[in-house]
Structure 1
Amino acid sequence: MDQTLAPITAPIPVRAASTDDPAELLRFAIDAHGLGAAALATLVEIRGGAARALGAHMAVAADGRFCGYVSGGCVEAAVASEALLAMAEGRDRTVKFGDGSPFFDIVLPCGGGIAVAIHVLKDVGALQHVLDRLERRQAAGLAYSPERQTLEAVDPLPRACWHERDFLTVYRPRTRIVLSGRTIEAQAVARLAEASAYDVIVRGQDEGAKVAADIIDPFTAVVLLHHDLDAEAAILETALHSPAFYIGALGSTRTHHRRVERLTAMAFGKDDIGRIKAPIGMFGPTRDATSLALSVLADVAAARLVAYA
């Protein structure tokens, strides 16, 4: 009888989910680690152009399933294959793609190059720490040491970067939209914001004044879509006393002039009043609810990028 053993085949990488939400990727890594082994791949260098920002992640399970993006989709399967090899060897590795890479057959459409650090997870305590902080709507940080092959929770820096010999990744809560109004415009903004995976809190005209100040944090945009200045007054005052990164209000230039007069009479200063985007939105004027919703959320997204570049 032939006693020859059949060759052991490596798992084939297969995308498990199309998401780039950091919290979802860390949960995937934690679950995969609990089932056997997992690796976390991080974009740590960009040469020229790139589709993703420094600190972008992929999570790879030992059975070949992966999720996340470190490019526009052109190298992810190759990164997953490298992560599977790293798990088989039990050692971290850093791999280059695109310009300056040994993989001449993998070309990035942007013409640049990237480096991806692959960490074989030994424990998931640091990842859980990040998730716990995000659940409390607090920023978090991780420090990856290629030399020690460790991943540790640290205080977050303003942005992902190399700090001495460690690469630091920053995580921030998803954008929260506090939306006040029962108008058709408010309904359109709520639908689009929810489809964009924002944390949406809707308050009607009667309950707008009841918005607690503690739900408006530095990662919150306050969107006021009333056709009456009296209806927005209470929540606008709350927003101006809050750390919200965006405050926008519906109304024409003439309406906003009246709004400014009211706020000035209430002793709000120019800097406070200057925080209000009015007329609201990135482009305008709009004449239908869907166009307004696109304009508002584009404005919110742009403001978030400026606040947390």
Structure 2
Amino acid sequence: MDQTPATITAPIPVRVSDSDDPAELLRFAIDAHGRGAAALATLVDIRGGAARTLGSHVVVAADGRFCGYVSGGCVEAAVASEALLAMTEGRDRTVKFGDGSPFFDIVLPCGGGISVAIHVLRDVGAVQHVLDRLGRRRAAGLAYSPERQTLEVTDPRPRACWLEEDFVGVYRPGTRVVLSGQTIEAQTVARLAAVAGYDVVIRGRDEEHRAAADSIDPFTAVVLLHHDLDAEIAILKTALRSPAFYIGALGSTRTHRRRVERLAALAFGQDEIDRIKAPIGMFGPTRDATSLALSVLADIAAARLVAHA
């Protein structure tokens, strides 16, 4: 009697998280790999406009769960379906969407096109290395070879790019906000910054300078929200000697002139002083704590894009 093979039904892709934080996506990849299999889909080419930057990820588990974005949300389920096929076949693949794609029913709203490289994870050592680096607030890089179908640790580049035949992705720590001030403005900035997913560190006036310095790295914004120049001077000096990508201070233009005179008397150079954004914020003047907090956080976000494009 003939036996008819049972039909194998592929899992249905289901989004399980709206996060686009690289560290969360990589943790999901490690967990999914440990439970069976996982694929890392990476945006490696943009034709025309696109909603995401090169190096953006979608991570897909063998049971159909996925998270991450390589577009504005219009192709991710299709990417997950392609990743499931790649895992079934055990081979990497690169798929085009939008302009230049064979999928005529999938159109990107921006009118452009993207290419997504799907890598079936054989091991997660390189991914864990990135997470370890991010945990120590250090940048990291991964080189993906479509020819060899490998993912290897590499030095981080200024931005994600093709390097000969390999695509190099870049991973940087999230934004940290070091806040100094006992004001309602400081409390409001801290609250909204936490909601935005920033790592918030609050430094009191009398804390050791060393503790403040240890909190500041190239991915840190220092925000000084004092109504007294004497109260800010210690941490301001620490910030100016640090690699912080943003230093902002509360006060009017007249107050800032007094601040500049004081710093010049302390032998700070003009290039150092010019690092201070004062009056602080992207727009102003503001007359309430919430508006000021929004102005400050918008300014920080814009500065981070410039510093780490």
For Structure 1 versus Structure 2, the TM-score category normalised by the shorter chain is over 0.9
Does the 8 Å contact 2:201/2:215 carry over to 1? no
What corresponds to 1:124 in structure 2?
124
Q: Provide the C-alpha distance between the structure 1 equivalents of 2:192 and 2:212, rounded to a whole number of angstroms.
A: 24
1:225-244 correspondence runs (5 A): 225-244=225-244
TM score, norm. by length of structure 2? 0.98
The correspondence of residues 197-208 of structure 1 with structure 2, limited to 5 A, is 197-207=197-207
SS at match of 1:212: helix
Q: Is the 8 A contact 2:139 2:156 kept in 1?
A: yes
AA of the residue aligned to 1:116: V
- Corresponding position of 2:61: 61
Paired letter, 2:133:
R
Answer whether contact 1:208 1:234 (CA < 8 A) is retained: no
- Larger mean CA deviation between 192-201 and 1-10 belongs to 1-10
Q: Which residue is 1:137 aligned to? A: 137
Name the counterpart of 2:296: 296
The runs of 4+ residues in structure 1 deviating greater than 6 Å are none
CA distance in 2 between counterparts of 1:238 and 1:137 reads 19
Match of 2:295, as an amino acid? S
Q: Does residue 1:96 correspond to 2:92, yes or no?
A: no
Query: Could you tell me which residue of structure 1 aligns to residue 181 of structure 2?
Result: 181
Question: What CA distance in whole angstroms lies between the structure 2 residues aligned with 1:280 and 1:255?
Answer: 12
Q: Does 1:270 align with 2:278?
A: no
Please name the residue that 1:40 is paired with.
40
SS of the residue corresponding to residue 126 of structure 2 reads helix
Deviation at 1:203, TM superposition (A): 1.7
* Counterpart amino acid of residue 270 in structure 2: K
Q: Residue type matched to 1:135 in 2?
A: G
**Cα distance in 2 between the residues matched to 1:161 and 1:248:** 32
Q: What TM-score comes out, normalization by structure 1 length? A: 0.98
C-alpha offsets along residues 38-64 of structure 1, whole Å, 9 cap, x if unaligned? 000000000000000000001100000
- Could you tell me how far apart the structure 2 residues matched to 1:110 and 1:279 are? 37
CA distance in structure 2 between the partners assigned to 1:208 and 1:104 by the alignment? 61
Q: Is the 8 A contact 1:180 1:208 kept in 2?
A: no
Q: Structure 1 counterpart of 2:83, which letter?
A: A
Structure 1 stretches of 5 or more lacking a match? none
Structure 2 unaligned residues grouped into runs of 5+: none
Match of 1:115 in 2: 115
Which deviations, in whole Å up to 9, do the C-alpha atoms of 1:54-81 show, x marking residues without a partner? 0000110000000000000000000000
Contact 1:142 1:153 (8 Å CA) reproduced? yes
- Partner amino acid, structure 1, of 2:276: I
- The change in CA–CA distance for 1:179 and 1:217 in structure 2 (over 3 A counts) is same
User: Quick one: percent identity of the two aligned structures?
Assistant: 83
Per-residue displacement from partner, 1:149-190 (whole Å, max 9, x unpaired)?
Answer: 000000000000000000000000000000001111011100
Q: Distance between the aligned counterparts of 2:211 and 2:296, measured in 1?
A: 20
**Contact 2:179 2:201 (C-alpha < 8 Å) held by counterparts:** yes
Distance 1:206 1:122 in 2: 51
Map of 2:105 onto structure 1: 105
- Structure 2 distance, partners of 1:81, 1:48, is 24
1:246-265 equivalent positions in 2, closer than 5 A: 246-265=246-265
- Aligned residues of 1:211 and 1:235 also touching (Cα < 8 A): no
